[in-house]
Amino acid sequence: MRIILLGAPGSGKGTQGPILAEHFGSTHVSTGELLRHEIAEGTELGQRVRGYVQAGELVPDEIVFALLSEPIAAAAASGGYVLDGFPRSLHQAEEAYARAELAGVTADAVVNLSAPDDVVRERLGMRAAYGRADDGDRDVIERRLRIYHSETEPLLDFYRSRGLLVTVDATGPAEEVTEAMIAVLTDRTPAS
Ligand code: AMP
């Protein structure tokens, strides 16, 4: 199964991604986790992206594609992927779609984890207490939300027009969101 997870920061992608991957025998590929790993390791790439991530701004596309090409291809070749945090802009989505089409590995479904800004604001504020630096600062939270609305939300129409979009209410407890996601995705999967 090949799935793209969309949703605002704090909508639950990082919680639901691994669960979904486990359920469908796919690999969870989190762009944010990969970026934070590079930063923590102090690699050259990590040094180039640190400022963007700390400020809550999007990392330049060429870096994101360089980082993700291999993990996505490897996941696609072995049970599929659950992409969390990518694509995040129309340009990334168009480019990713073109590349995936060439390789015959476009997504089977795109899950929109839908939650109002107030709910995700509160979650991000709480998450900051557990040490995610880019969740701590109110200005950074607001910037990430603004970028979500201006850059990422247009992807909903992009995938809706391709018949791939399913929307799940992400405001409830995590277990309920998981159940709803799996139910709607299982409905879409043709019986083999
Ligand atoms: P996340 O863990 O998905 O919230 O991502 C944390 C941060 O990593 C974001 O605020 C961006 O700075 C960066 N990032 C993650 N995914 C992308 C992407 N697809 N394109 C550009 N920047 C990204």
Q: What is the mean pLDDT of residues 72-100?
A: 97
pLDDT of residue 131: 64
| Per-domain boundaries in the chain | 2-184
Q: Note if the pTM is more than 0.85.
A: yes
Compute the distance from residue 183 Cα to the ligand 1 centre, in Å. Answer: 28
2-184 CATH pick, 3.40.50.2300, 3.40.50.720, 1.10.645.10, 3.40.50.300: 3.40.50.300
- Give the chain's length: 192
Compute the distance from residue 83 Cα to the ligand 1 centre, in Å. Answer: 12
pLDDT tens for 94-137 read: 999 999 999 999 999 999 999 999 999 999 887 766 666 676 68
Compute the distance from residue 191 Cα to the ligand 1 centre, in Å. Answer: 35
Q: What is the mean pLDDT of residues 3-11?
A: 97
pLDDT of residue 19: 98
Alpha-carbon distance 130 to 135, whole Å?
A: 9
Q: Give the residue, out of 35, 82, 123, 148, with the most ligand 1 atoms within 8 A of its beta carbon, to mutate for a pocket test.
A: 35
Q: What is the mean pLDDT of residues 158-167?
A: 97
Compute the distance from residue 39 Cα to the ligand 1 centre, in Å. Answer: 13
Nearest protein CA to atom 2 of ligand 1, as residue? 32
Locate 54 and state its tokens.
């700390």
Q: What is the mean pLDDT of residues 48-64?
A: 96
The mean pLDDT of the chain is 94
